[in-house]
Amino acid sequence: MANLFFLQVAYHGDSLLKNPLAEAFLHLKWSMIKRFFYFNVFVYTLFVFALTSLAISATVIVTDYRSPIRTDIRNDFSFSKIE
């Protein structure tokens, strides 16, 4: 199949893809794999959305200095008194 692609590129022939037999083959192949293609696109989109939301939420948590969870962090690391 790769040889047909190289022939098309070498001779600038779009006629290989315009052939009715090739069109029928491509249509049949697309009808068989389009469910897997769309599923892959959906999973990838879901992954990108989840990763983006995780990165944004982690950034918001790290940069929120006015968080009421711990307000006395500076007192934990005072080295002014050495005993």
Domain count, the chain: 1
**Can you tell me which residue has the tokens 């249509």?**
27
- Would 26 be classed as within a structural domain? yes
Domain that holds residue 41: 2-64
SS3 content of the chain, % helix, strand, coil (to 5): 75, 0, 25
Those residues of the chain that have pLDDT short of 50 are none
Q: Give the global pTM.
A: 0.52
Rounded CA gap, 12 and 28, in Å?
Answer: 25
Q: What is the pLDDT of residue 2?
A: 56
- Would 59 be classed as within a structural domain? yes
b/e per residue, 4-27, with b = 16+ CB within 10 A? eeeeeeeeeeeeeeeeeeeeeeee
Q: Residues for the chain: how many in total? A: 83
